[in-house]
Amino acid sequence: MNQSTGRMCRKAGRLASVLLALLALSGSVADAQTETTPDDPAATTISSSAASIGLTLSVSEVRAPDRFWLDESGLHIRELAGIDTVSGDITGTATTSTNIGWSAPCNGGTLVCRGAQVSFQQLTITDENGEWTGDLQLVIDPARGPDTITGILVGRHGNAGQVLYLNAVTERS
């Protein structure tokens, strides 16, 4: 490995830690189950059994991404894996696989960009009842206002028959 590649790998490791820390969120999550049939017009509404809950994901481990590169459009990171601790209304652990696009302009030395950051994440939360698995998208763009998150996690095993809809970032550090 040449010296330039070694520096880039060290920077990527530091960047991976920083970026996954940015993804550690506290969000408002709502159970989006309905008691209607899919062809029923009311099926798009949330039933009265839906409840808002709060979750906090705290990064506990980050592994280097499978791929990353910096080009004229920004920084691109693929398959950044992490393990989080989950607390709040659901407690347990979470595993993540994240793809990030961070728009230019970027500083090649620090690998920090000034544009919007869009993350797509596969997320699995494991609690004492089973799992919640699904996908989410996080958009961090100070020029457009508050961070936004959209995600759906489907319950498995003891959580089967339940769905979590992630729809708000209430805090990020």
Global pTM reads 0.69
Query: What's the pLDDT at 49?
Result: 73
1 pLDDT higher than 50: no
SS3 160: coil
Query: What's the pLDDT at 169?
Result: 82
How far from 168 is each of 4, 26, 43, 78, 136, CA to CA, in Å? 40, 8, 22, 24, 11
pLDDT tens across 64-106, in order? 999 999 999 999 999 999 999 999 999 999 999 999 999 999 9
